[in-house]
Amino acid sequence: MIADLPPLDVSTRIPRLRGRLEEAGVDALVVTGMSNVRYLTGFSGSAGRLLVGPEQALLVTDGRYRTQSAEELAAAGVEADVEIGRPPEQQEVLVKAATAYRLLGLEEDHVSWGWKRALAGALGGQTELVATAGLVEGLRRVKDEGEVARIEAAASVADQALARVRPLMAERPTEEELALALDYEMRRLGAGDRAFETIVASGPNAGKPHARPGARRIGEGELVVMDFGAVVEGYRSDMTRTLCLGPPATGVLAAVVEVVQASQAAGLGAVSAGVGGAEVDRACREVVAAAGWAEAFVHGTGHGVGLDVHEAPALSVTSTDRLEESSVVTVEPGVYLPGHGGARIEDTVVVVAGGHRVLTRSPREVVVS
Ligand code: ZN
Ligand code: ZN
């Protein structure tokens, strides 16, 4: 059900990371974030560490992944030494290799204090540990053709799942039933997984941005926020639609929908290569503020999407990120009125010169008749 996808360009990534080591003030980097390990090697296991030096790439993992790691690295065309062992043996191999370097970078967002202490103790005084942030994540911000194709395929799966589930609304299902139906359809359509725990929030629950689906039955005229995504070959999509069985029951709810639609359109209109994440956020926020609901837009406007559902760049008030061509980001303003209801509309888009291309294509219309 998922069309043929162009290959991922994995083998150029370790060389590109090497090009960033000097600037980061390290001789080598131990990659411990599993999405980063996957990005650099193609290895999709749940445990492992990757040491990257100017001429070295060493992956250590455990016996569960002996065959899988070899297959995935070969498929990706990645040349790296792979050492298999129990955790203490992995650590020994890693330490031995790491002593060749004077300044050894660790990913500060992906190590535990305990592991860092143990590593420092095992290395002795010759090798100094250096905290690094965002080295691989920086590479991941700009997607290649194969990555965009996978995110687009994941978005298409979510679109088709919603099209199948939409008619169920008329039967007044519970939030849980709708969420389960979305998850089931995404898997049937070829998704490897859901991108995150599906959100279905109805009526007053829609006034909470990240409500968990519960046993509440959907009623006519209330807003139902559905936030969900699929995973295709590791890559995620992220989309929110707000639906309403019949017209919104109150003028306030109708106004919330109109304002969120206008805000999202303004945000999408601002997305373009070279634009700051804070600028896109401002475009969304101005529309909401003009309607008097500035305080009801309680989260950032968007985020990057890829191997992780939340990654760089950020689109928020405090963001210093700048959008680059071939970044994939979400635009998802919302208005939440506690106890009453709320709406959010979210699309995943790829940034192009002078604008964007929308990957999540479900209709944004709210009323289901
Ligand atoms: Zn979302
Ligand atoms: Zn999102």
Q: Tell me the average pLDDT across 208-214.
A: 93
Provide the CATH number for the domain around residue 274: 3.90.230.10
The pLDDT assigned to 212 comes to 94
Ligand at minimal distance from the CA of 310 is: 2
From edge to edge, which strands make up the β-sheet containing 57-61?
Answer: 81-84, 57-61, 49-52, 28-31, 103-107, 128-132
| Nearest one of 269, 256, 247, 268 to 346, comparing CA atoms | 268
Which residues hold their Cβ within 5 A of ligand 1, which is an ion? 227, 238, 240, 346
- CA-to-CA distance for 70 and 91, rounded, in angstroms? 20
Ligand at minimal distance from the CA of 241 is: 1
| pLDDT of 29 above 80 | yes
Q: How far is the CA of 190 from the centre of ligand 1 (A)?
A: 20
Q: How far is the CA of 308 from the centre of ligand 2 (A)?
A: 11
- 116 with 150, same domain: the answer is no
Number of domains, the chain: 2
Which of residues 116, 140, 164 is at a domain's end?
140
Ligand at minimal distance from the CA of 195 is: 1
Range of the domain at 355: 145-368
Domain presence at residue 1: no
Q: Measured on CA atoms in the order 105, 109, 115, 116, is the torsion positive or negative? A: positive
- 332 with 290, same domain: the answer is yes
Question: In this structure, what DSSP letter does residue 217 have?
Answer: B
Domain presence at residue 4: no
- 312 with 175, same domain: the answer is yes
Which of residues 105, 120, 140 is at a domain's end?
140
Ligand at minimal distance from the CA of 330 is: 2
- 70 with 182, same domain: the answer is no
Q: How far is the CA of 239 from the centre of ligand 2 (A)?
A: 7
Q: Helices marked H in the chain — which ranges? A: 13-21, 34-41, 66-76, 87-98, 113-123, 135-140, 145-165, 175-188, 251-270, 277-290
- 135 with 172, same domain: the answer is no
Ligand at minimal distance from the CA of 229 is: 1
- 83 with 176, same domain: the answer is no
- 208 with 326, same domain: the answer is yes
- 123 with 213, same domain: the answer is no
Domain presence at residue 347: yes
Domain presence at residue 299: yes
> 42's torsion region: left (phi>0), alpha (psi -120 to 50) or beta?
left
Q: Tell me the average pLDDT across 327-336.
A: 98
Q: Tell me the average pLDDT across 45-66.
A: 97
Domain presence at residue 3: no
> Model confidence over 279-306: pLDDT tens digits?
999 999 999 999 999 999 999 999 999 9
Provide the CATH number for the domain around residue 22: 3.40.350.10
- 166 with 228, same domain: the answer is yes
- 135 with 191, same domain: the answer is no
Task: Read off the pLDDT band of 245 (50, 70, 90).
Answer: very high
Q: Tell me the average pLDDT across 219-236.
A: 98
| pLDDT of 369 above 90 | no
- 319 with 300, same domain: the answer is yes
The pLDDT assigned to 2 comes to 83
Domain presence at residue 7: no
- CA-to-CA distance for 281 and 283, rounded, in angstroms? 5
Ligand at minimal distance from the CA of 305 is: 2
| Residues linked to residue 245 through DSSP beta bridges, in sequence order | 368
Which of residues 100, 121, 140 is at a domain's end?
140
Task: Read off the pLDDT band of 3 (50, 70, 90).
Answer: confident
Q: How far is the CA of 309 from the centre of ligand 2 (A)?
A: 7
Task: Read off the pLDDT band of 202 (50, 70, 90).
Answer: very high
